[in-house]
Amino acid sequence: MTALFRRVDETGRRPVRLVVDGHEIGALEGDTVLTALLTNGPRLRQNEFDGKPRAGFCLMGACQDCWVWTEGGEEIRACSTEVRDGMRIMTREVPWLNR
């Protein structure tokens, strides 16, 4: 998976682990969820209407295009939520009523 973001500095921070779509990834303490996901891959979520991937846009809480779900059914705005060690994120499905 291509990562969209690349780190240019501040790489000496304490590492944390997250699980994204069932796969473990590494990130750094102080990362936003958005940074954690996009330094590991190319997507955050998919648009509800065309199913295409999205990876945020404004990074300042205005565009609302970076909401992601945790496996536990919590919804978080990835650009303004810091990672917690052990977070489990879903980028392809929504934990919502079954069909």
Partner 1 sequence: MNAFAREPARADVIIVGGGFMGAATAFFLRTHGLSVILLERDLIGQAASGTNFGNVRRQGRYLPQLPLANRSRDIWGRLPELIGEDAEFLPGGHIRVTTRAEDGARLEQYARDCKPWGLDLTMMTGDQARAMFPMVGPDIHTVSYSPHDGHANPRLAAPAFGRAARRAGAQVVEQTEVTSIMKDSVDFIIETKDGGRYHAPLLQISSGAWGRSMAASFGEDVPMAPQGPQMGVTEPLPYRIQPVIGSASSVTEEGVYLRQVKRGNIVFGGGRRSSADLVTKRARLDPMNTLRQMPHLARLVPAMARLRVIRTWSGVEGYVQDSLPIMGPSDRVSGLFYAFGFCGHGFQLGPGVGATMAELIATGQTDIPLEPFHVGRFQRNMEHRDAP
Partner 2 sequence: MAEPVIVVGAGPAGTRAAQRLLQAGLRPVVIDENERQGGQIYRRQPENFIRPAEKLYGTEAARARALHADFESLRPHIDYRPGTTVWGVADEGLLSVRGSAITVQPFSAIIIASGATDRIMPLPGWTTPGVYSLGASQIALKAQACAIGGTPVFMGTGPLLYLVAWQYLRAGVTPAAVLDTSSLATRLRGLRGMMSRARVVVNGVRYMADLMRAGVKLHAGITPQRIEGREDGVTGVLWQDSRGRLRRTACDAVGTGYGLRAETQLADLLKCDFMFDRRFTQWRPQVDLDGRTSRQDVYLAGDGVLLRGADAAEAAGRLAACALLQDRTLPVATDEIEGLRGVIATMDRFAGGLAGAFPWPAHLAAALPDETVVCRCENVTAGDIRHAATALDSPEINRAKALMRPGMGRCQGRMCGLAAAEILAAARGVPVEQVGRIRTAAPLKPLPLDCRITP
Can you give the binding site for partner 2, defined by CB under 8 A? 1-2, 4-14, 29-32, 35, 38-39, 42-43, 47, 49-50, 52-65, 67, 75, 80, 82
Note the Cα 23 to chain centre separation in Å. 13
Q: Is 67 in the site for partner 1 (CB under 8 A)?
A: yes
Listed as own residue / partner, the contacts of 60-63 with beta carbons closer than 8 Å and 24 or more positions apart are none
Report the 10 Å Cβ neighbour count for 86. 9
Q: Is 50 in the site for partner 1 (CB under 8 A)?
A: no
Residue 84 touches which member of partner 1, partner 2, none, C-beta under 5-8 Å by kind: none
Whichever of 4 and 94 has its CB closer to partner 1, that residue is: 94
Q: Tokens for 57?
A: 């846009």
Element (H, E) at 8: none
Residue 35 touches which member of partner 1, partner 2, none, C-beta under 5-8 Å by kind: partner 2
Q: Tokens for 23?
A: 């796969």
Q: Residue numbers of the site for partner 1 (CB under 8 A)?
A: 48-49, 67, 73-75, 94, 96-99
